[in-house]
Chains A and B, each alone.
Chain A
């Protein structure tokens, strides 16, 4: 069976003039970048804009990518910086909202029903997504990169410009906060049902 080409091979081809092959890199990483963007923007349209911006920035700077880390790690660090800039701009444009009080419902957050997935399971993810969206941007990023981006503590450290130890401590605190938020949400749901 034909092995898929690595990111490094595709990058080398792009730098040699086959710029059209950037489509392959976009296709490979778009879901990860888009998910991260969604975590920050909490809105599909804005997340698409941020994610597209990240890919354009990565393309512009592709010649400077030293390949001493994974392309995904480098791309996520661009995503993190772009998303943080987006949040700062948004903060200037709007009034500050209390983290817990300013919960914004994620649009179409449950992507689709899996073939054998149950309603129960999907609603479990729905509440989990809700809880993650209530975390601070940094906690949100760490949890998403660790579980969905499949990044190691070292790689997350590179992305967020922190040491692996700091990330380990932050991840632990983020998970505790996530558990608390989840318990809070579920408690509210039960109270509403009663």
Chain B
């Protein structure tokens, strides 16, 4: 059960329903204890609302900005974590795992006998891979790696230079 004070505070905060508001207004009009409590709480509520904020010293903003200048410039997390780089790294690992799996399968030729069931694993024919394996392809692969590395280095140095410009 709510106390008189609690109900009056709720009323003044605007947290009551229309019916509750009407009931409280009636009680305040008709009952002396409600009226006394309402006058007290309303005046306290008004004073609290009208209280002034404290004023810091005139040099407050300047002092903060002097301290802030010593800090590195903030960067949005979105730009800090480049999803493309994560995708490239992730893709590289997936590719490696798939390549290792394919290689392992090509080397496997197993026959297994489990409780009367005869399982035969015969490696699929991947001989076509030998045809595309060439020094040219290897060079192209390494060149692509080198390009990716240079792009990343370029981005990293740009960001570093940008930070240095803002902090200086």
* Interface residues in B84-122 (C-beta closer than 8 Å to A): none
Q: How far is the CA of A44 from the CA of B54 in the complex (A)?
A: 10
**Across-interface contacts of B74 in A (CB, < 8 A):** 14-15, 19, 59-63
Counting chain A residues whose Cβ lies within 8 A of the other chain, the interface size class is: 35 or more
- Report B-chain residues with C-beta under 8 Å of the C-beta of A35: 53-54
Asked if residues A51 and B60 are in contact (CB atoms below 8 Å), the reply is: yes
Contact count band on B: 20 to 34
**Distance in Å: Cβ of A191 to nearest Cβ of chain B:** 20
The interface residues of chain A, by DSSP majority, are classed as helix
Interface string of B45-71 (1 = CB under 8 A from A): 001111111111100110111011001
- Tell me the residues in window 1-44 of chain B with beta carbons closer than 8 Å to chain A beta carbons: 5-6, 9, 40-41, 44
- Give the complex CA separation of A41 and B40 in angstroms: 30
- Interface residue B127 (Cβ < 8 Å from any Cβ of A): no
Contact B51 A34 (CB under 8 A): no
Residues of B at under 8 Å CB distance from A?
5-6, 9, 40-41, 44, 47-57, 60-61, 63-65, 67-68, 71, 73-77, 79-80, 162, 166
Given contact pairs A30-B64, A56-B71, A179-B40, enumerate 13 new A-B contacts (beta carbons under 8 Å).
A20-B65, A22-B65, A23-B65, A30-B56, A31-B53, A47-B54, A51-B56, A51-B60, A52-B60, A52-B63, A52-B64, A125-B51, A175-B9
Chain A interfacial positions (CB closer than 8 Å to B): 14-15, 17, 19-20, 22-23, 26-27, 30-32, 34-35, 38, 44, 47-48, 51-52, 55-56, 59-64, 109, 111-112, 114, 124-125, 128-129, 143, 147-148, 172, 175-176, 178-179, 182
